[in-house]
């Protein structure tokens, strides 16, 4: 008997019909149900069908795997009303998809009998997994790809919260183009982003981060009280949820080396909260895929990501 795949639908708590795909192994080898969560707006399939490949791989290992489109995304009912994509991302980073994820676990428990879960996801899917785990004790583990720990917004200066590595990368690009006639033309015709240019050029001269403002923005106060960075776009829910989860459960964090999300996690979270999570080192595993970009475009990056994920699942939950 082969592994089975079937389209499924169910209603969420708002009465919207959600569409998904259930992968059932020929021989179930694990008590855990594995749910792969929507990465931002790219639905249950994900960039270059990454979730299809993951689901097939994990199903072949004996896991029941479910991929679902949340309300307003993919094929599901409902609508997202935000005007800007960054604001959609922000709403997800603040937990927009948590209710649908809990409803998904309810459905899966009822239909498959799995009552413990591993949540997996890229970017928006990863943060949704963490925020869901914060609310639902059935989540035992998280397989995170490119965890985002910041808040996106359409309403901020894109240069304001860049990491050191982002500034390094931008500076490198500017310097490479210094003799490029098109770039020079843009510079003298006021089409260049002068603030970003200057910020990237003076970044190496700054030995220490800028001092905190006298009156931190409201979102900064919680972070500051917890010993975190002020004047940062760190997701205020992230530090507590992350620490709480790893104090009792396991998480695999796979990052792409050339992804700003990795740089942000290091600079905005680990640098400030690293000491607080040290006691739980056995529960979190950070793996970096060399050179890879955010969506693991090249096949060798995909293969490495899949190999790391499978080995971790096999080791802990096989």
Partner 1 sequence: MQEKPFFFEDEAKRLFGILHLPPAPKPQGYVFCHPFAEEKLWSHRVFVNFARRLCRAGHPVLRFDYRGHGDSSGDFEDATVETRVADIQSAIDTLCAKVEGLAGVGLIGLRFGASLAALAAENDTRVNALVLWEPVVKGAQHIKEMLRINITTQTAVYKEVRYNTQALIEQMRAGQSVNIDGYEIKLPFYEQIAALDLTKTNGRFEGNVLAAQINKKAGLGMRRIQALEKAYPQITMIEVVEMPFWKEIREYYATADDLFARTLAWMEIE
Which residues lie near partner 1 (CB under 8 A)? 5, 7-9, 17, 19, 21, 41-45, 47-50, 52, 72-75, 79-80, 82-88, 154, 172, 257-258, 291-293, 295-299, 302
CB of 19 to partner 1, least distance (A): 6
Q: Compute CA distances 35 → 101, 198, 285, 312, whole Å.
A: 9, 44, 20, 16
Closer of 41 and 102 to partner 1 (Cβ): 41
Assess contact for 241 and 134: CB atoms under 8 A: yes
Closer of 55 and 105 to partner 1 (Cβ): 55
CB of 48 to partner 1, least distance (A): 3
The candidate with the shortest Cα–Cα distance to 210, out of 164, 260, 269, 261, is 164
Assess contact for 16 and 79: CB atoms under 8 A: no
CB of 291 to partner 1, least distance (A): 5
Assess contact for 163 and 269: CB atoms under 8 A: no
Closer of 49 and 135 to partner 1 (Cβ): 49
- By CB atoms closer than 10 A (0-12, 13-18, 19+), residue 3 is middle
Sheet with strand 250-256: strands edge to edge: 4-11, 17-24, 64-68, 32-37, 116-122, 139-145, 250-256, 284-289
Assess contact for 20 and 66: CB atoms under 8 A: yes
CB of 63 to partner 1, least distance (A): 18
CB of 230 to partner 1, least distance (A): 28
Closer of 251 and 254 to partner 1 (Cβ): 254
Q: Compute CA distances 249 → 78, 85, 243, whole Å.
A: 33, 32, 10
Closer of 23 and 268 to partner 1 (Cβ): 23
Closer of 103 and 259 to partner 1 (Cβ): 259
The candidate with the shortest Cα–Cα distance to 270, out of 234, 311, 220, is 234
Query: Coil, strand, or helix at residue 310?
Result: helix
Closer of 60 and 258 to partner 1 (Cβ): 258
Tokens representing 243? 């620490």
Phi and psi at 168, nearest 5°, equal: -60, -45
CB of 302 to partner 1, least distance (A): 7
Assess contact for 88 and 80: CB atoms under 8 A: yes
Beta strands 139-145 and 116-122 are parallel
Closer of 194 and 298 to partner 1 (Cβ): 298
CB of 224 to partner 1, least distance (A): 31
Tokens representing 265? 């996690």
CB of 301 to partner 1, least distance (A): 9
């Amino acid at each position: 008997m082969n592994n089975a795949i079937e389209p499924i639908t169910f209603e969420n708590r708002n009465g919207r019909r959600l569409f998904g795909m259930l992968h059932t192994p020929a021989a179930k080898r694990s008590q855990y149900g594995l749910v792969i969560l929507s990465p931002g707006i790219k639905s249950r399939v994900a960039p270059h069908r990454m979730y299809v490949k993951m689901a097939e791989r994990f199903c072949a290992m004996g896991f029941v795997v479910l991929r679902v489109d949340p309300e307003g995304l993919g094929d599901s009912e409902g609508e997202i009303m935000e005007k800007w994509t960054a604001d959609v991302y922000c709403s997800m980073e603040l937990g927009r998809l948590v209710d649908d994820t809990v409803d998904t676990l309810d459905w899966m428990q009822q239909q498959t009998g799995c009552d413990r879960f591993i949540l997996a996801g890229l970017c928006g899917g990863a943060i949704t997994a963490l925020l869901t785990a914060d609310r639902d004790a059935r989540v035992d583990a998280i397989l995170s790809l490119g965890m985002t720990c910041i808040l996106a917004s359409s309403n901020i200066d894109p240069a304001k919260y860049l990491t050191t590595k982002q500034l390094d990368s931008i500076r490198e690009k500017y310097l490479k183009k210094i003799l490029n006639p098109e770039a020079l033309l843009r510079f003298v015709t006021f089409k260049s982003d002068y603030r970003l240019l200057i910020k990237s050029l003076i970044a190496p001269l700054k030995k220490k981060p800028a001092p905190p403002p006298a009156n931190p923005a409201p979102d900064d106060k919680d972070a500051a009280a917890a010993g975190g960075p002020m004047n940062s776009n760190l997701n205020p829910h992230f530090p507590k949820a992350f620490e709480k989860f790893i104090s009792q459960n396991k998480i695999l964090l796979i990052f792409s080396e050339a992804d700003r999300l990795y740089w942000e996690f290091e600079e905005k979270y680990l640098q400030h909260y690293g000491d607080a999570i040290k006691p739980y080192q056995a529960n979190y595993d950070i793996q970096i895929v060399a050179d890879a970009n955010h969506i693991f475009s090249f096949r060798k990056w995909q293969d490495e990501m899949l190999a790391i994920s499978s080995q971790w699942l096999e080791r802990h939950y096989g």
